[in-house]
Amino acid sequence: MASMSRDSLLNSIKSLHIAAEKLPDDVFADHHRRHGLQRQLTRLKNDISTPFERVFGEICFQPHQSVATKIALEAKWFEVLADGQPKTAQEIARATNGEAELIARIMMVLTATDVVSEKGPQTYAATPTTQLLLDPGWANGLRHFFDHGGQSLINLPNYLKRNGYRVPQDVKAGPFADAWGGKTPWALFESDPTQAEVFNLSGRNGELDRYLSRQARLCESLEKSDDAVLLVDIGGGSGHVLLDFVKDPAHRIGRRVLQDLPAALGDVDALKEHNIEAMEYDFFTPQPIKGAKAYYLRAILHDWPDLACREILTTTAAAMRKGYFKLLIDELVLPDSDIPPKGAFFDLSMMAIQTGAERTSRQWHDLLKSARLRVVRIWSSDDGLESVIEAELAT
């Protein structure tokens, strides 16, 4: 049986108080300290919970929150709450042609986990979390991890047991294919445009803008030629990163090229309006654009095991010239220890969905070195995970 003395509890609370005093008036202005405080709070909550409470109050029931959130999202209950005014279950039911009893039961989970705020008996209001899920990008992120990742994650224990508890290395025989009747994620997206759209519209925003705000040399010394290429976005999907990129007048020099498989490229005509070239390309084949100022890989390499990543990096490096070109890799960079939940959960998701992995700084250095590249610098965001790895040819 777990135990904790009152003095130990009080000392932990004092440590929390000291950590809180170091935060600025706007606690969200210092992500590093705020995340450290979150970890302390989580550990304190775990310390004052019994093992039974942890296993049967949390671990067994973690999927329930995402299930309830997905139900509310698809039933459009969050949209009813979008105006910020409290609504009863009956009001939500009338607005969505639903059933008040079901709404109240699902909302029990969402209010218990603070996804939705409870204002009275069967009366609910939006929270910042609810409002975030009204954004199509974040809503599709939830759909991607739930629809594509959920089935693979549930299957993962049996898959690993049958395969001798080894790290999956082959996407064609990985956990996703095992759970989806032999289909890889890419085969699924190619065969089902709706699923492909969910995937393409999901995901994080990326760190390119933040990198460029601190490192402006990308646009400097671009070769004076009508054919000079400023940036190639490899595997860039529908092109939302490049569309944001060209909003800055300073980035409207040279050519900007978006590369991806045909099913992922999206509205090519809309890209042309912004002078973005769309090119069908498989990043396992030789890079057709030689001599770009920068090549950009956003959330690509975490989809693949090391051997496949080495192949992608090698084909890109073959198009680069030492001293002029940069490779920009927009990915999570995990610490070597004390990895926060976000990084750990992403890593397990990558294993289950795409046979990929999130990597530590040391692993990124080793991977790039194996492709004749070297890390110049890792530019990390305030949370210490979201990063742009700036690399160049090693020889």
Query: Could you tell me if 234 and 271 are in contact, meaning their C-beta atoms sit under 8 angstroms apart?
Result: no
d(CA 119, CA 54): 28
Angle between helices 62-74 and 136-143 in degrees, nearest 10: 130
Query: Could you tell me if 270 and 246 are in contact, meaning their C-beta atoms sit under 8 angstroms apart?
Result: no
Tokens at residue 274, please? 């912004």
Residues in the chain: 395
Per DSSP, the three-state class of 294 is strand
CB-based contacts of 279: which residues, under 8 Å, 6+ apart?
Answer: 257, 258, 259, 288, 289
How many other C-beta atoms can be found within 10 angstroms of the C-beta atom of residue 253? 12
Catalytic residue (one of 144, 148, 240, 302): 302
Per DSSP, the three-state class of 52 is helix
Per DSSP, the three-state class of 214 is helix
CA angle 119, 122, 124 (to 5 degrees): 45
d(CA 388, CA 385): 10
Tokens at residue 194, please? 């709706």
Tokens at residue 98, please? 């639903």
Q: By C-alpha distance, which of 250, 247, 141 is closest to 198?
A: 141
Radius of gyration of the chain (CA): 23
Amino acid identity at 327: L
Task: Measure the CA dihedral 16/17/19/24, to 10°.
Answer: 140
d(CA 189, CA 194): 8
d(CA 219, CA 292): 11
Which one-letter DSSP state was computed for residue 355? S
d(CA 308, CA 350): 14
Q: Is 302 among the residues known to form the active site?
A: yes
Active-site annotation, residues? 302
